[in-house]
Amino acid sequence: MFHTPFVVSFALLLSFPLLFLFVPRILPPKHVEISLPDELDDLALFRRAALTSLGGGGAVSRLGVTNPRPKIAFLFLTNTNLHFAPLWELFFKNNEALYNIYIHADPSSKITPPGGVFSGRFIAAKKTERATATLISAARRLLATAVMDDPLNSYFALVSQHCIPLHSFKYMYKTLFVKPISGRGSSSFPIHRSFIEILSDEPQLWDRYNARGKNVMLPEVPFDRFRIGSQFFVLTRQHALVVIRDRRLWRKFKLPCFNMYSCYPEEHYFPTLLSMEDPDGCTHYTLTRVNWTGSVDGHPHTYQPAEISPRLIQELRVSNSSYSFMFARKFSPDCLQPLLTMAEKVIFRD
Ligand SMILES: *[C@@H]1O[C@H](CO)[C@@H](O)[C@H](O)[C@H]1NC(C)=O
Ligand SMILES: *[C@@H]1O[C@H](CO)[C@@H](O)[C@H](O)[C@H]1NC(C)=O
In a domain, 236, yes or no: yes
Q: Which residues of 231-251 are buried (b: 16+ CB within 10 A; e: fewer)?
A: bbbbbbbbbbbbbbebeebbe
Instruction: Give CA angle at 192 (55, 282), nearest 5°.
Output: 105
CA of 169 to the centre of ligand 1 (A): 26
Side-chain-side CA neighbours of residue 309 (13 Å):
5
Strands 164-165 vs 71-78: parallel, antiparallel or unpaired: unpaired
Q: What is the pLDDT of residue 34?
A: 85
Q: What is the pLDDT of residue 5?
A: 55
Report the 10 Å Cβ neighbour count for 77: 24
Ligand 1 neighbours (beta carbon < 6 A): 291, 293-294, 301, 312, 315
User: CA gyration radius for the chain?
Assistant: 22
For 79-117, list the strands marked E by DSSP.
99-105
Tens digit of each residue's pLDDT, the chain (350 residues): 445 555 555 554 555 444 444 444 444 444 567 889 999 999 999 999 999 877 554 444 445 445 689 999 999 999 999 999 999 999 999 999 999 999 999 999 999 989 999 999 999 999 999 999 999 999 999 999 999 999 999 999 999 999 999 999 999 999 998 765 544 444 444 578 999 999 999 999 999 999 999 999 999 999 999 999 989 999 999 999 999 999 999 999 999 999 888 999 999 999 999 999 999 999 999 999 999 998 888 889 999 999 999 999 999 999 999 999 999 999 999 999 999 999 999 999 98
In a domain, 2, yes or no: no
In a domain, 137, yes or no: yes
Ligand 2 neighbours (beta carbon < 6 A): 319-320
CA of 291 to the centre of ligand 2 (A): 10
Instruction: Give CA angle at 100 (99, 106), nearest 5°.
Output: 140
Query: What phi and psi, each to the nearest 5 degrees, are found at residue 330?
Result: -105, 150
In a domain, 16, yes or no: no
In a domain, 10, yes or no: no
* Structure confidence by residue, pLDDT tens digits, 204-223: 999 999 999 999 999 999 99
Compute CA 4 distance to the chain's CA centroid, rounded to the nearest angstrom: 56
- Measured CA to CA, the distance from residue 38 to residue 108 in angstroms comes to 15
Q: What is the pLDDT of residue 178?
A: 77
Q: Which helix (H) or strand (E) holds 312?
A: helix 310-317
Ligand nearest the Cα of residue 309 is 1
Q: Which residues of 134-172 are buried (b: 16+ CB within 10 A; e: fewer)?
A: bbbbbbbbbbbbbbbeebbbbbbbbbbbbbbbbbbbebb
Q: What is the pLDDT of residue 180?
A: 54
Q: Any idea what DSSP says for residue 167?
A: S
Orientation angle between helical segments 266-277 and 134-149, nearest 10 degrees: 50
Q: What is the pLDDT of residue 295?
A: 86
Atom of ligand 2 nearest to the CA of 319: 13
- Distance between start and end Cα atoms, the chain: 78
- When divided into structural domains, the chain yields a total of 1
Q: What is the pLDDT of residue 31?
A: 56
Report the 10 Å Cβ neighbour count for 274: 25
In a domain, 324, yes or no: yes
Atom of ligand 1 nearest to the CA of 312: 14
Q: Any idea what DSSP says for residue 89?
A: H
In a domain, 151, yes or no: yes
Query: What phi and psi, each to the nearest 5 degrees, are found at residue 258?
Result: -100, -35
CB contact at 8 A, 328 and 164: yes
- Measured CA to CA, the distance from residue 90 to residue 71 in angstroms comes to 18
Atom of ligand 2 nearest to the CA of 318: 13
In a domain, 235, yes or no: yes
CA of 292 to the centre of ligand 1 (A): 8
**What is the residue range of 228's domain?**
36-53+69-347
- Measured CA to CA, the distance from residue 218 to residue 223 in angstroms comes to 8
CA of 320 to the centre of ligand 2 (A): 6
Atom of ligand 1 nearest to the CA of 294: 5
Side chain identity at 29, as an amino acid letter? P
CA of 302 to the centre of ligand 1 (A): 9
